[in-house]
Amino acid sequence: MDISVIIPVYNEENNISMLHERLRSVLDQLTNRYELIFVNDGSKDNSMPMIKALSKRHPEIKYIDLSRNFGHQVAVTAGLDKSCGDTVVIIDADLQDPPELIIDMYQKMKEGFQVVYAKRKRRQGESIFKLWTAKVFYRLLSRITSISIPVDTGDFRIMDKRIVQILREMPEKNKYLRGQISWIGFNQTYVEYERQQRNSGETGYTFRKMLRFALDGITGFSDLPLKIVTYFGFLVSIFAFLIMLYALYSRYIIEDYEPGWASLMIVILFIGGIQMIAVGIIGEYLSRMNNNIRNRPLYIIRDSNL
List of residues contacting Mg ion (CB under 5 A): 94, 96
- Nearest-10 crossing angle of helices 207-221, 72-82: 60
Q: Which is nearer to ligand UDP, 23 or 278 (CB)?
A: 23
Q: Answer yes or no whether residue 37 interacts with ligand UDP by CB under 6 A.
A: no
Q: Figure out which of the listed residues 35, 41, 81, 160 binds ligand UDP, where binding follows CB under 6 A.
A: 41
Q: Answer yes or no whether residue 177 interacts with ligand UDP by CB under 6 A.
A: no
- Nearest-10 crossing angle of helices 177-184, 72-82: 50
Q: Answer yes or no whether residue 217 interacts with ligand UDP by CB under 6 A.
A: no
Instruction: Give, as one character, the DSSP assignment of residue 194.
Output: E
Q: Answer yes or no whether residue 69 interacts with ligand UDP by CB under 6 A.
A: yes
Largest CA distance in the chain: 92
Instruction: Give residue 185's identity as a one-letter amino acid code.
Output: G
Q: Figure out which of the listed residues 72, 119, 157, 173 binds ligand UDP, where binding follows CB under 6 A.
A: 72
Report the SS3 class of residue 76: helix
Q: Could you tell me if residue 230 is left (phi over 0), alpha (psi between -120 and 50 degrees) or otherwise beta? A: alpha
H or E, element range at 286: helix 261-294
| Contact in structure between 191 and 116 (CB atoms under 8 Å) | yes
Q: Answer yes or no whether residue 5 interacts with ligand UDP by CB under 6 A.
A: no
Q: Figure out which of the listed residues 44, 103, 168, 205 binds ligand UDP, where binding follows CB under 6 A.
A: 205
Near ligand UDP by CB under 6 A, which window of 140-148, 199-207, 241-249, 263-271?
199-207
- The residue of the chain with the least Cβ separation from ligand UDP equals 204
Where on the chain is the footprint of ligand UDP (CB under 6 A)? Answer: 8-10, 12, 41, 69, 71-72, 75, 92-94, 96, 203-205
